[in-house]
Amino acid sequence: MTFETVLTNARVVTPDAVLPAGTVVIADGRIIELSDGVSAVPGAQDLAGDLLIPGLIELHTDNLERHFAPRPGVRWPALPAVRAHDVELAAAGITTVFDAVTIGDLKQGNRGRDLADMIDAVADAKARGLLRVDHRLHLRCEIAHERMQALVEPLIDHPLTAMLSIMDHTPGQRQFVNEDKYREYYMGKHGVRADEIDALIAGQKRMQMEYGPANRAFVVAEARARGYALASHDDATPAHVAEAEADGCSVAEFPTTIDAARASRDAGMAVLMGAPNFVRGGSHSGNVSARELADAGLLDVLSSDYVPASMLHAALMLGAVAGIGLAAAIRTVTDRPARAVGLDDRGRIAAGARADLVRLSVVDEHVPVVRAVWRAAERVL
């Protein structure tokens, strides 16, 4: 016997419109029916006019790493760290996440030490049914690193691996055109001492020249062979974008200039920007503002990056600030990221789609209050 859940009297956000008082019926992991109007079916859940949107799809978040290393020198137990990360995502309305793990960190630190434990803990918790969110892996491949290929090889066929990105944080280009920003970032976040930073910069530039081209070719070949989604990262120039296009990238993560964003769009890539950038009104690295790209019509996907709660907040702001309306704004965190990485079964409220749903209200200046979350028709929050 199929058990149906009827959600009614909600402002339902579809890909193209907002139904002022709609009803969604879910069962067996799917959306069975979508209708305009309030249901009188006994047992229907009255959502009292709250918004009902698709579950958010997050393509790039560093949040898992933060829970493993909440402070410098502090290492949190693996399973509690994964569970805390998962609960935070669900509370932010995220139902599908590509956990971004760094492969070949510029300064290994916690990331290198915790890499295997993080991945094993996610896989174990998922296998045991301990997670609210659908977790996948996004391997952030730092091509300017001598051990990148050796670190990627044991993970490339991991059951959770689904996305790769081509990273190059060598100072003097891309994210860190301004080397002072590089110094500020690594001395502040990773505790690099002033007497170490020059050697780190010189070593990074050497490794980029020695290993970068071969490592990039390796990442592209591995993604193509397995059909994984591939993203470029921090493209700054049309030349960077042309290289990403030739590599077959479907996502342009965090282009640093408006010219790179425009070229990425022209090349058919989905332009992804950080939701914290949008909420704050600017990039912490001094690069192009997400709001500037939105105003130019060049923003396709929002990612929470390092603040899970920013994703839905930014989407609500986008609908008002950019004047594109709520339905189009919500697509940047649901339908568009799903399609950019080939997930055709989710990201929209429509009959037959996976029943990943979020009930929320909005307070103050576009601040979301998530009240309930369903993943594959099961309530998880």
Question: Average pLDDT in the 176-198 region?
Answer: 62
pLDDT at 110: 45
Query: In 10 A of CB 368, how many CB atoms?
Result: 21
3-state secondary structure 319-373: HHHCCCCHHHHHHCCCHHHHHHCCCCCCCCCCCCCECCEEEEEEECCCEEEEEEE
pLDDT at 84: 97
Question: Average pLDDT in the 118-132 region?
Answer: 96
Which residues lie closer than 8 Å to 107 by C-beta, 6 or more apart? 186, 190, 192, 200
* Average model confidence (pLDDT) across the chain: 90
Instruction: Provide the H-helix boundaries in the chain.
Output: 63-68, 78-91, 109-127, 148-152, 179-189, 194-226, 238-247, 258-266, 275-280, 290-295, 310-321, 326-331, 335-340
Chain centroid offset of residue 351 CA: 25
Tens digits of per-residue pLDDT, 312-368?
A: 999 999 998 878 999 999 999 999 999 999 999 999 999 999 999 999 999 998 999
Cα distance between residue 75 and residue 88, in whole Å:
19
Backbone angles phi, psi at 363, to 5 degrees: -125, 160
Comparing C-alpha atoms, which of 231, 235, 232, 216 is closest to residue 174? 235
pLDDT at 306: 92
pLDDT at 104: 82
Cα distance between residue 163 and residue 226, in whole Å:
10
Which residues lie closer than 8 Å to 269 by C-beta, 6 or more apart? 232, 241, 244, 245, 249, 250, 251, 252
Q: CA-CA distances (angstroms) from residue 378 to 22, 77, 166, 352? A: 20, 28, 35, 16
Question: Average pLDDT in the 272-291 region?
Answer: 89
Cα distance between residue 171 and residue 53, in whole Å:
40
Residue of 110 and 43 predicted with greater confidence? 43
pLDDT at 307: 96
Question: Average pLDDT in the 279-288 region?
Answer: 82
- Binned at pLDDT 50, 70 and 90, residue 108 comes out as very low
Q: Is the pLDDT of residue 109 over 50?
A: no
Confirm if 374 and 26 have CB atoms less than 8 A apart: yes
Tens digits of per-residue pLDDT, 149-170?
A: 999 999 999 999 999 999 887 7
Query: In this structure, which amino acid lies at residue 327?
Result: A
User: Whose structure tokens read 């990148």?
Assistant: 148
Sign of CA dihedral 98, 238, 169, 212: positive
pLDDT at 178: 61
What are 141's two structure tokens?
């491949």
Tens digits of per-residue pLDDT, 62-75?
A: 899 889 888 877 88
Tens digits of per-residue pLDDT, 234-278?
A: 999 999 999 999 999 999 999 999 999 999 999 999 999 999 999
Half-sphere exposure of residue 10: CA atoms within 13 angstroms, side-chain side: 27
CATH of domain 55-347: 3.20.20.140
Burial 25-45 (b: 16+ CB within 10 A, else e): bbeeeebbebeeeebeeeebb
Question: Average pLDDT in the 202-224 region?
Answer: 85
In the three-class reduction of DSSP (H, G, I as helix; E, B as strand; rest coil), residue 98 is classed as: strand
pLDDT at 74: 86
pLDDT at 96: 98
Percent of the chain with pLDDT over 90: 74
Cα distance between residue 368 and residue 279, in whole Å:
13
Q: Is the pLDDT of residue 292 over 50?
A: yes
Cα distance between residue 25 and residue 308, in whole Å:
28
What are 257's two structure tokens?
């200039």
Is the pTM higher than 0.75?
yes
Question: If you ran DSSP here, which 8-state letter would residue 163 be given?
Answer: E
